[in-house]
Structure 1
């Protein structure tokens, strides 16, 4: 199976945020995925919704043999296992969350489906915190 280089963004604004991110990274390593690079943690205010809970965010580059949809299913499973109940695509809006894992880039692939858009345009072009995290990754 061929390996693919993928950029992910992770965020948490509930509970022990840094520990949530570290736990998610450990779970990402399952299934033969390899963590190649991790950014520093970045503390940010919520974007596109109001909350008094600040976020802790990181970016990571992984190597995976999963297809884009397989990877999406895998990270959504991690979110559910960690206790996330409000997926923004399903509930049509953003909410506080214990973990959020977004696929930002997958090789140089351009991909669009109802569930997934690669590259993730909001993170690449609209969100200042994302551009800051990704500056050394893209």
Structure 2
């Protein structure tokens, strides 16, 4: 039997129908990568890094997969491309963005892939949704829970949980 890996993915987008984009990305992920076993609420936040653009909608999902980290990256990059994502400008507007936050408790430092996501502790829009579904998950490098990292996060951008959707 193949061993199962668990990966936390951050979904985000700020163009067109943002919620539909996140739902479509989840459908592709469950079809091509593995079973989605946890899903956070949707969170809205102002654009980070490049602020003259529409607000983002974000969500974190936990996926169980037989794929390794490199294959997972390849699959999500293909999904982004199929959905119309073109990487033109850093922090620019996008229909969909799928980031690997964690892959099991692995530490991967390669030219194409860095896991854990190197900026998660600085980004409230990633910490709020992951703390909702995995507050006790321990960051393998920082040795702190998601709830602790959220409490310590200095990111001033407000993150609004969207209720009753």
CA contact (8 A) 1:41 1:57 kept: yes
CA contact (8 A) 2:53 2:93 kept: no
Structure 1 segments of 4+ aligned residues over 6 angstroms from their partners: none
Structure with more relative contact order (C-alpha pairs < 8 Å, separation 6 or more): 1
Q: Which residue of 1 aligns with 2:161?
A: none
Unaligned runs of 5+ in 1: none
* Secondary structure at the counterpart of residue 61 of structure 2: strand
Q: Which residue of 1 aligns with 2:128?
A: 132
TM-score of the pair, normalised by structure 1: 0.92
CA drift at 1:50: 2.1
Of 96, 104, 108, the match for 1:107? 104
TM-score of the pair, normalised by structure 2: 0.77
Unaligned runs of 5+ in 2: 138-165
Larger Rg: 2
CA drift at 1:86: 1.4
CA contact (8 A) 1:106 1:119 kept: yes
Establish whether residue 119 from structure 1 lines up as the match of residue 116 from structure 2.
yes
CA contact (8 A) 1:8 1:104 kept: yes
* Secondary structure at the counterpart of residue 29 of structure 1: helix
